[in-house]
């Protein structure tokens, strides 16, 4: 990240505000490799070996230094503040690797380092919404399933992911997806109507149908779909048109 000259935050490129990223330390670049991890364990009296209960990961944090290429005025300072100081996690990318997305918020101390003549740079701290970075969204082709078909989805990230699924049902009946790359129970709706459109966000466990006054949670078996790292072989049963949308998740910042 530090070798990148420019950043994009919430769709706005730093060059639009005459800002460029700078590295002011001497020597080699030093930046986060992965998010901080903490061991969760319990020690029982009489046993010197603690019991491992898992690992907690802290959301990524890192500094950003932005230099005013044309100097600054009170108006440019205000413009930059309105751009960066926001109350939500928004997409942040670095030009050196625009395919890697951080969902970021600028927090903590922020400082303007200057020479007294309206030349200088600002130092801010970024906190991400998770320990991970993400790819851009990927959309599969529209798969036209005539009764039953095997498809493949590649997860090139470092971790399993839970995709979004859009389904257009052809003919009244059930819909069933089995990921043969995992040992999960199938993802299944026991009944969907002809020409019904269903949207499923497997990460948020959210289901929406275009049929008014209809709740499809009662028709679903609560086995939301997960895509394992690598190739996922999905057997789909039930005539439909289906599209799968997802982001890869990366351990490295």
For 34-53, write each residue's pLDDT tens digit. Answer: 767 778 888 888 888 888 88
The residue with tokens 């070798």 is 3
Residue 146 has pLDDT above 60, yes or no: yes
What confidence tier does 26 reach under pLDDT thresholds 50, 70, 90?
low
Which residue, 114, 131, 132, 134, is CA-closest to 122?
A: 114
Residues 6+ apart with CB under 8 A from 28: none
Could you report the per-residue pLDDT of 151-184, keeping only the tens digit for each? 999 999 999 999 999 999 999 999 999 999 988 8
State how far the alpha carbon of 83 is from the alpha carbons of 78, 99, 105, 172, 227, in Å. 9, 21, 11, 49, 35
Beta bridge partners of residue 192, listed in sequence order = 173
- From CA 44, how far away is CA 52, in angstroms rounded? 12
How far the first Cα of the chain sits from its last, in Å, is: 8
In angstroms, rounded to a whole number, what is the distance separating the alpha carbons of residues 34 and 23?
20
Q: Which regions of the chain carry the CATH code 2.40.30.200?
A: 7-134
Give the model's pLDDT for residue 111.
80
pLDDT of residue 5: 80
State percent of the chain over pLDDT 70.
94
What integer is the mean pLDDT of 102-120? 85
Cα 69 to Cα 17, 44, 87, 118, 242, distances in angstroms: 9, 59, 27, 11, 49
User: Higher model confidence: residue 28 or residue 73?
Assistant: 73
pLDDT recorded at residue 25? 64
pLDDT score recorded for residue 119: 85
- Per the prediction, the chain carries an average pLDDT of 90
Say if residue 28's pLDDT is above 60: no
Residues of the chain with CATH 2.60.120.860: 138-250
Among 2.60.120.860, 1.10.10.10, 3.20.20.10, 3.40.50.970, name the CATH number for the domain at 138-250. 2.60.120.860
Cα separation values, 115 from 1, 118, 141, Å: 26, 7, 55
What tokens were used for 207? 């289901």
Report residue 18 as tokens: 């005459």
Confidence of residue 105 (pLDDT cuts 50, 70, 90): very high
Query: Tell me, which fold does domain 7-134 have in CATH?
Result: Elongation Factor Tu (Ef-tu); domain 3 (2.40.30)
Residues 117-128: tens digit of each pLDDT: 788 889 999 999
Strand partners, 128: 104
CA distances from 134 to 4, 74, 168, 170, 206 (A): 18, 35, 28, 34, 21
E-state strands within 70-141: 90-94, 97-114, 120-128, 133-134, 138-139
């Amino acid at each position: 990240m530090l070798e990148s000259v420019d950043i994009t935050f919430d769709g706005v490129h730093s060059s639009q505000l005459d800002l460029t990223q700078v590295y002011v330390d001497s020597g080699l670049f030093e930046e986060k490799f992965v998010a901080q991890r903490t061991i969760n364990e319990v020690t029982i009296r009489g046993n010197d070996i603690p019991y491992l209960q898992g690992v907690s990961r802290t959301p990524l944090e890192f500094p950003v230094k932005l230099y005013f290429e044309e100097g600054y005025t009170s108006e440019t300072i205000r413009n930059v503040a309105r751009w960066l100081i926001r109350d939500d996690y928004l997409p942040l990318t670095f030009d050196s690797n625009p395919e890697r997305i951080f969902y970021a918020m600028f927090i903590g101390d922020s400082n303007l380092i200057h020479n007294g003549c309206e030349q200088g740079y600002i130092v801010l701290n970024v906190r991400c919404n998770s320990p991970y970075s993400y790819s851009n969204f990927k959309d599969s082709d529209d798969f036209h399933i005539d009764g039953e078909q095997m498809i493949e989805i590649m997860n090139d990230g470092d971790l399993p992911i839970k995709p979004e699924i859009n389904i257009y049902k052809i003919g009244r009946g059930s819909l069933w997806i089995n990921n043969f790359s995992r040992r999960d129970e199938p993802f299944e709706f026991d009944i969907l109507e002809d020409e019904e459109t269903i949207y499923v966000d497997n990460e948020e466990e959210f289901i929406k149908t275009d049929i008014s006054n209809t709740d499809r949670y009662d028709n679903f078996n609560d086995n939301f779909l997960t895509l394992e790292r690598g190739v996922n072989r999905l057997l789909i049963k039930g005539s439909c048109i289906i599209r799968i949308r997802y982001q890869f998740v990366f351990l490295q910042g």
